[in-house]
Amino acid sequence: MGRKVQFVQQISRVVVSCDPKKWNPTWIGVGAGTGGVAWGNRSELSRAAHVIGQALISKSSMSKYLLAWCSDLHFDFIQPHQRQRFLQSVAMSGANGIVITGDISTSRRIADNLGSIAGTGLPTYFVTGNHDYYAGNFATTDATTASVCRQFPNMTRLGRGEIIPLGERTALIGHSGWGDGRAGMGPMTPVRMNDSLLIADLRLDGAALFEKLAELGMASARYIERVALIAVQNADQVVVATHVPPFPEASRHEGVPGEPSHLPHFTNVAMGESLRKIARDWPRKKFLVICGHTHERFTWQADENLVVKVAGARYGDPAVEEILEF
């Protein structure tokens, strides 16, 4: 409850600075209890426009949309009965939908684990985290999650042009992102993640590894820039779901800022640069970033209209981080 109140206060502060005349009165959310959107083969941006159009069609009076935000569930650390107990609690929470900001499981288990989440019946939007690729590679894991989303219409992986209306004035977009190796000590760091051992694409040494990390971070940043540009046209608030904190200030460990040696793997600098640019280009809009990866709960106001919330998490104890209200 305390955290929920804190969130509302933060957003209220930003709302004051908005010009209501700029609100687009035709923006109507798809609404509570609706599922994800199937995209077909259209381009990313035309698909995004398609969703906005779908949203406009669905004109109805809206009640608040309650979104259960979870992160770093790490289902591979718990038994099936624990997983079911957690999912039942989410289903009973009164939430209209679920958003998961990565690290759901591992590559070999993610299909089964996403299937169990689909069983809640709630529309579920997710990005993958680094852990989700463990014991696999990018291509096969992404193909697996795509297959799950085709099988279960209520499951949507964010990162292919989706713009999800939440309530009347808010849109959800997202991309997995990655620690792009630039924060803190950057490529000089001696620290290596298990990612370099457990994800086939990242079994790289030295400069090659950091080139790849930078490439992953940049791809996520460019994506968010493109899709936010469309989302912001018809929403007053854009929620950006990603896995890795986009600013070093938000990337903490055990109550203090992250070590410079660790920050390269726990910050997506490119994403932060893009978010700052978007927020400054659209000063009357609000941007809320939700992420995880550090497992260290923290809220950081990056700019007047840009707030970053990092989820706390404990291995073996999956939980709803917060019920977000739109």
- Residues near Fe ion (CB under 5 A) are 72, 103, 129-130, 293
Identity of the residue, 130 or 242, whose beta carbon is nearer to Fe ion in the bound complex:
130
Question: Distance between CA 167 and CA 9 in Å, rounded?
Answer: 18
The answer to whether 247 and 62 have CB atoms below 8 angstroms apart is no
Residue with tokens 């996403």: 114
Amino acid of residue 257: P
Identity of the residue, 130 or 141, whose beta carbon is nearer to Fe ion in the bound complex:
130
The interaxial angle of helices 206-234 and 44-57, nearest 10 deg, is: 30
Question: Distance between CA 259 and CA 93 in Å, rounded?
Answer: 37
Nearest approach, Cβ of 133 to Fe ion (angstroms)? Answer: 10
Nearest approach, Cβ of 286 to Fe ion (angstroms)? Answer: 26
Identity of the residue, 162 or 195, whose beta carbon is nearer to Fe ion in the bound complex:
195
CA-wise closest residue to 268 among 286, 287, 293, 285:
293
The answer to whether 125 and 131 have CB atoms below 8 angstroms apart is no
Nearest approach, Cβ of 131 to Fe ion (angstroms)? Answer: 5
* Tokens describing residue 44: 């990313």
Identity of the residue, 97 or 292, whose beta carbon is nearer to Fe ion in the bound complex:
292
Nearest approach, Cβ of 287 to Fe ion (angstroms)? Answer: 22
Question: Distance between CA 5 and CA 13 in Å, rounded?
Answer: 12
Identity of the residue, 235 or 310, whose beta carbon is nearer to Fe ion in the bound complex:
310
Nearest approach, Cβ of 72 to Fe ion (angstroms)? Answer: 4
Nearest approach, Cβ of 103 to Fe ion (angstroms)? Answer: 3
Nearest approach, Cβ of 292 to Fe ion (angstroms)? Answer: 6
Identity of the residue, 47 or 265, whose beta carbon is nearer to Fe ion in the bound complex:
265
Identity of the residue, 130 or 267, whose beta carbon is nearer to Fe ion in the bound complex:
130
Q: Give me the helices (H) in the chain, please.
A: 2-16, 44-57, 80-91, 110-118, 138-151, 195-198, 206-234, 263-266, 269-281
Amino acid of residue 14: V
